[in-house]
Each structure stands twice: as C-alpha cells, then as structure tokens.
C-alpha cells in the first residue's frame, strides 16, 4: 500500500516512520511549506540513527526503513492509496490543505486527518469526498493507540479500513465519537 503523510513536522515524521517500519507499505512524506527535502530526510533518519547507535536496529534494518520513504512536495500524494494530513492543529490550515489533497488525490484514495481536537465533520465541510480522523499519539512510531474518528460523511467502510490498517501496522485502533 502506498501511504502519503502530508505534513513533515514531528507528527508527520513519526507517522511516516510508523508505516515505513512495517511490511507492505511504501511511504511518501509530503513537505507542505518550502522545500527542505534534505533537512526533512535528516530529521526522519535521526531517531533511527539513535536506534542504530544503541544496537536496537541493524544497518540492514535502517536501510530497509529509510529506503521505503520518498520525500516530495504535496504532488507526491497523487498516486497514494491512503493520504494522512498531518498539518498544524488549525482548522483553516487543515481545510486548505485537504482541499489541495482533494484536487490531487486519486478518486479511490482514503483520506484521513491526524487531528486531536478539531471536528472531522467541520474539517470536511467544504470537501466533496468524505474523510476520517486517524489520530496518532506522539511519538507516533512508538505509541500503540490510534483514535479512529468518523465524521458525518465518513462511511462505515472507511472506519473498518482504518481500523484494519491500524492493526496491520501494529497499533490499537479505538473508535471515538465526535
């Protein structure tokens, strides 16, 4: 499965790692503002380098995880199956970014927002496709819990898909009512 994480701050980097360290996932980390792709690569690799230095992962495992991540601009999400928006926790910013994603994403892509406090229904208000909340906890690569948050337009199939994906990446999905 091709997964795009749109937003490359602390949470976005952690979500990208959570997927990249599991089998069956290729990850596109989409940098939203500016370019800075080399800097984002360094930031993505930093916790893995610490694990490598401590002997918690091998060089082969490090290379495997980092090799599954491509860093691009937002256009990189165009061919992905799952797109997780992970921008700043600001309603206007998330709505603007999700409108951009909606224009780029393939029609059958599952679109999720990593939000902890904003209403999925409100975020999706101006969108033509349904979205779902997929809230990771920090540090996303380590913490097991994922809140699965359906909005008014979220389908039951989307909820089940996100729960299955969460379980597949060794997380514990918990459905939350908004």
Q: Which residues are catalytic?
A: 135
The H-assigned helical ranges of 30-111 are: 37-53, 59-67, 91-104
- Across 19-40, b (16+ Cβ under 10 Å) vs e yields bbbbeebbbbbbbbeeeeeeeb
7 in Cβ contact with 32 (< 8 Å): yes
Task: Give backbone dihedrals phi and psi of 90, rounded to 5 degrees, phi first.
Answer: -140, 125
| 155: number of Cβ within 10 Å | 11
Q: Where are the beta strands (DSSP E) in the chain?
A: 2-6, 26-30, 69-72, 82-85, 110-113, 132-136, 145-150, 172-175
């Amino acid at each position: 499965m091709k997964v795009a994480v749109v937003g490359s701050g602390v949470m976005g980097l952690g979500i990208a790692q959570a997927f990249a360290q599991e089998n069956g996932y290729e990850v596109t980390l989409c940098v939203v503002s500016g370019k800075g792709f080399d800097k984002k690569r360094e930031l993505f690799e930093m916790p893995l380098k610490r694990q490598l230095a401590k002997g918690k992962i091998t060089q082969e495992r490090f290379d495997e995880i980092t090799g599954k991540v491509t860093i691009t601009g937002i256009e990189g999400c165009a061919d992905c199956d799952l797109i997780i928006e992970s921008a700043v926790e600001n309603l206007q910013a998330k709505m603007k970014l999700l409108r951009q994603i909606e224009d780029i994403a393939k029609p059958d892509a599952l679109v999720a927002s990593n939000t902890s406090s904003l209403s999925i229904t409100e975020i999706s208000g101006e969108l033509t496709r349904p979205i779902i909340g997929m809230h990771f906890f920090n540090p996303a690569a380590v913490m097991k819990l994922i809140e699965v948050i359906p909005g008014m337009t979220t389908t039951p199939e989307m909820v089940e898909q996100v729960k299955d994906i969460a379980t597949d990446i060794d997380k514990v999905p918990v459905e939350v009512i908004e």
